[in-house]
Amino acid sequence: MDMEKKPMGIVIGVGNQKGGVGKTTNTLHIAAALGEKGYRNLIIDLDPAAGATKHLGIPIQSFAGTLELLTTEETPQSLAIYEKMPKGVHLIPSYCGYQATQKPDSGGVRDCAYLCGHPNKFGG
Ligand SMILES: Nc1ncnc2c1ncn2[C@@H]1O[C@H](COP(=O)(O)OP(=O)(O)OP(=O)(O)O)[C@@H](O)[C@H]1O
Ligand SMILES: [Mg+2]
């Protein structure tokens, strides 16, 4: 494959120190608009509050996501949810809230991965 002729795509980061200013809304709308234009895109939800994940109708703490992406051998391909998403949109859901998932007898990260359900039910 000639990689020089096959662009890898672009990365768009959406962030702002201030809350409630439209980060999630813009992320979802940009992704949906690009999807409508025929581009495939992947939303990586790094927000502990799981804004994009919840907006896209994915139950939080139900699927492996960005936590597993960072801490396991899972890949974006194996974690991406694509069923019931807007056209062209894929999602790696947010990791779980540590406080909600931590068991008293072990580490929060391991328990979070456990509660998220591993491997991902959609991405396969
Ligand atoms: N362009 C806009 N015009 C009017 N309302 C908007 C616009 N963009 C977002 N909103 C509304 O503002 C509120 C906050 O938006 P959003 O959740 O996207 O912000 P956020 O920056 O992701 O917030 P948080 O910091 O809590 O994650 C929502 O109710 C959303 O519907
Ligand atoms: Mg948000």
Please list, in sequence order, all residues whose beta carbon lies within 8 angstroms of the beta carbon of residue 30, skipping any fewer than 6 positions away: 12, 14
- Higher model confidence: residue 12 or residue 117? 12
Could you identify the atom of ligand 1 that is nearest to the CA of residue 51?
27
Q: What is the DSSP letter of 81?
A: B
Query: Would the pLDDT of 81 be above 90?
Result: yes
Domain ranges in the chain?
23-99
Give residue-wise pLDDT tens across range 57-71: 998 778 889 888 888
Ligand 1 contact, 23 CB (< 6 A) = yes
Ligand 1 contact, 20 CB (< 6 A) = yes
Give residue-wise pLDDT tens across range 7-58: 778 999 998 889 999 999 999 999 999 999 999 999 999 888 899 999 999 9
Please list, in sequence order, all residues whose beta carbon lies within 8 angstroms of the beta carbon of residue 20, skipping any fewer than 6 positions away: none
Instruction: Report the predicted TM-score, pTM, of the whole model to 2 decimal places.
Output: 0.77
Could you tell which of 21, 24, 25 is best to mutate to test the pocket of ligand 1, judged by most ligand atoms within 8 Å of the CB?
25
- Higher model confidence: residue 62 or residue 99? 62
From the CA of 107, how far away is ligand 1's center (Å)? 33
